[in-house]
Amino acid sequence: MGNLQQLIDDVHGELRERLGEGKIADYIPQLAKISPNKFGISLATTDGKIYNVGDSSETFSIQSISKLFTLTLALGKVGDGLWSRVGREPSGTRFNSIVQLEHEMGRPRNPFVNAGAIAVTDVILGEYQPKEAIAEIVRFVQYLANDSSIIIDKNVANSEIEHGDRNFALAHFMRSFGVIKHSVDEVLGVYFHQCALAMSCEQLAKSGLFLAASGKNPINGYNVVSSLRAKRINSLMLTSGHYNGSGDFAFRVGLPAKSGVGGGILAVVPKTASIAVFSPGLDNNGNSLIGTIALEIIAQRAGWSVFG
Ligand code: GLN
């Protein structure tokens, strides 16, 4: 596989002078405070090695990357029954768009736009109290990353609730169609907490490694999902993991990946590696600008792509 440490060191060094490009998420004060100069990369391989550079051990708000973990958890609970609640088509709209929901009877396009992720969280809530559902999500992510130190940033979660009007609108709208069964306050309480999980690139790369290894976590040997399910989750990341920037990301990087407005991206190189990048400056679609360029260069130089 060549010298992967050298590869990420080079990319980190080359892009450092461009930090500050893009716009930091400012819809809640907690995210707006982050320094634009943070930049980390972690690369975990299916043979159990991990390579890090820059701010790779610094935790940040994973935001929508959590949608990948809650999707995996919900599929484990209800299997393919999940698809009666949420679709599998790219949205071509912004992550928090409401416009399609009215045309499509409140059924969100996919599990990675906000509406879809809120519907998935409603499924996880099931018979639980919100606190229990939050605890289950945290435990699941700790299990995936093999790291019990992962926690939720309570300040971020509370701030999301205070500034969550758009998500409340999405949830109420879906509830009016029966797509959401619990109260909007309960579902969003859980959703905002999952978005506020604080993780480092290293923890993220480890937690996504099962998707590169046919569903089995090579670090601890746990079978997380079947290889068919891992493939399908990867397909959804490729088609919808970057909202209305998903086509451009597939064109430039050619790997399944999920982004978050905290500036993180978790990418999967099937049968080979998972890569987490963190750089808080965002492009117009709310995806990490330098993080995307870093992944583009890494994929090109390593010859990684799901398209051959
Ligand atoms: N917490 C954010 C929201 O719900 C997550 C969005 C994102 O990361 N794209 O608006």
> CA-CA distance, 112 to 302, in Å (whole number)?
28
Look up 243 and say whether it is catalytic.
yes
The yes-or-no verdict on residue 202 having pLDDT over 70 is yes
- pLDDT at position 90 is 96
Domain annotation covers residue 98: yes
What residue owns the CA closest to ligand 1's atom 2? 63
pLDDT digits (tens, 9 = 90+) for 1-34: 679 999 999 999 999 999 999 999 999 999 999 9
236 residue type, one letter: L
pLDDT digits (tens, 9 = 90+) for 222-247: 999 999 999 999 999 999 999 999 99
Asked whether residue 236 falls in the same domain as residue 185, the answer is no
Q: Residue 102 is part of a domain; what is its CATH number?
A: 3.40.710.10
**Is residue 246 within 8 Å of 253, Cβ to Cβ?**
no
Q: Which one is catalytic: 67, 206, 216, 258?
A: 67
Asked whether residue 94 falls in the same domain as residue 39, the answer is no
Domain annotation covers residue 308: no
> CA-CA distance, 243 to 80, in Å (whole number)?
22
Asked whether residue 128 falls in the same domain as residue 239, the answer is no
Asked whether residue 70 falls in the same domain as residue 191, the answer is yes
Domain region containing 159: 64-195
- pLDDT at position 1 is 67
Asked whether residue 149 falls in the same domain as residue 229, the answer is no
The per-residue pLDDT of the chain, averaged, comes to 97
What residue owns the CA closest to ligand 1's atom 3? 114
Domain annotation covers residue 307: no
Domain annotation covers residue 96: yes
Asked whether residue 70 falls in the same domain as residue 175, the answer is yes
Structural domain ending residue among the three candidates 195, 224, 259: 195
Structural domain ending residue among the three candidates 195, 228, 245: 195
Overall number of domains in the chain: 2
- pLDDT at position 287 is 97
Q: Which of 65, 160, 162 to mutate to test the pocket of ligand 1 (most atoms within 8 A of CB)?
A: 160
Asked whether residue 73 falls in the same domain as residue 190, the answer is yes
> CA-CA distance, 218 to 223, in Å (whole number)?
9
pLDDT digits (tens, 9 = 90+) for 172-200: 999 999 999 999 999 999 999 999 999 99
Instruction: Look at the block and give the residue holding tokens 């480890």.
Output: 206
Structural domain ending residue among the three candidates 195, 220, 249: 195
- pTM of the full predicted structure? 0.98
pLDDT digits (tens, 9 = 90+) for 268-293: 999 999 999 999 999 999 999 999 99
Look up 207 and say whether it is catalytic.
no
What number is the average pLDDT over the span 60-84?
97
How many Å separate Cα 196 from the centre of its chain?
12
Starting at the edge strand found earlier in the chain, the sheet holding 151-152 runs: 60-61, 197-199, 151-152
Asked whether residue 95 falls in the same domain as residue 155, the answer is yes
